Amino acid sequence: MDLDLAQLRALDATVTAGTLDGAARALHVTPSAISQRLRALEAATGRVLLVRSKPVQVTESGQPVLRLARQVALLAADASRELAPGDGDRPVTLPIALNADSMATWVLPALAPLAGEIAFDLHLQDQEHTAALLREGRVMAAVTAAADPVPGCTVTRLGGMRYRPMATPEFARRWFPDGVTAPALARAPAVVFDRTDDLQHGYLRSRGVDPAVPPLHHVPASVDYVTAVTLGFGWGMVPRQQEPPGGLAELDRDGAVDVVLHWQQWRLRSTSLDRVADAVRTAARRHLDHP
């Protein structure tokens, strides 16, 4: 099966922009030209690759073709930089999936030295779900809790983030005067990152409490989540890397949860991708837990 490079670029640009109009602007062609290239690519593969919604959705058949399109684009950009270094080429764009707590603490400083040469397209997702973006071809690498490699990817263990149930001393005195018990947990408000965050729910279940019972505050931003706990909104599972100096008390010494993170990336020899992987692994050795 011979696939045309211009058609692959059209697919990549359309998924990145979310619309045919956006892809047309990115590639400096008309929306009609993008549509024609996509139809030709679907004819060549014999599959429907995109659902023409807003934004477009990649079909299951489209996922491997999107991966191919982005792999070709990355390798072409790397080759161009090697053949004509400093020739004014645009930075290589790397889409990467990160969990919020890693982004808020240790990953961004690790990537900063590369930001002049690589354009980072960071996708925020819970660590239990970042691997799905790899499967879909939307990202080239991910910090993920998934230890089993996604097909076509390599996996490296990075280390752990330890989360402890914490609250302000005032909150603990009010809601847990007799210690952390199941009845008290069923009444006390909790702070949850978002509706995919299972850390608090898992802790409640381990203490025999139905997670649907306590009142929940949803605060879908990593730094603001810790701020909400510090302000007394409720108790929450706070990672060691974000524990504020003083101000919070550990509620349950036996309640810590260790989330082990891994780096998964496409099995692809790319100078740019390898440099990012090295930076992430080096930072993980310094900032994550290694029991």
- DSSP state for residue 271 in the 8-state scheme: H
- What average pLDDT does the segment 258-265 reach? 96
- CATH number given to 161-259: 3.40.190.10
Interatomic CA distance for residues 117 and 272, integer angstroms: 9
- Which segment of 84-88, 139-143, 190-194, 213-217 scores lowest on mean pLDDT? 84-88
Interatomic CA distance for residues 156 and 162, integer angstroms: 19
CA 206 to chain centroid: 26
Coil, strand, or helix at residue 95? strand
pLDDT score recorded for residue 92: 83
Percent of the chain whose pLDDT exceeds 90: 73
- What average pLDDT does the segment 266-284 reach? 93
At 194, the pLDDT band (50, 70, 90 cuts) reads confident
Distances (CA, A) of 145 to 44, 78, 121, 130, 260: 36, 29, 20, 8, 6
- What average pLDDT does the segment 212-236 reach? 96
- What average pLDDT does the segment 177-197 reach? 94
pTM of the model: 0.81
pLDDT at 88 over 60: no
Write the pLDDT tens digit of every residue in 120-174. Answer: 999 988 888 888 888 888 899 999 999 999 988 999 999 999 999 999 999 999 9
Task: Work out the mean pLDDT of the chain and round it to a whole number.
Answer: 92
Determine phi and psi for 181, rounding to 5 degrees: -120, 160
At 200, the pLDDT band (50, 70, 90 cuts) reads very high
pLDDT score recorded for residue 19: 94
The domain segmentation of the chain, as residue ranges, is 1-87, 161-259
pLDDT at 10 over 90: yes
At 106, the pLDDT band (50, 70, 90 cuts) reads very high
At 87, the pLDDT band (50, 70, 90 cuts) reads low
Q: Which CATH entry fits the domain spanning 1-87: 1.10.10.10, 3.40.50.720, 3.40.50.10540, 3.40.50.150?
A: 1.10.10.10
pLDDT score recorded for residue 136: 84
pLDDT score recorded for residue 135: 86
Write the pLDDT tens digit of every residue in 16-26. Answer: 999 999 999 99
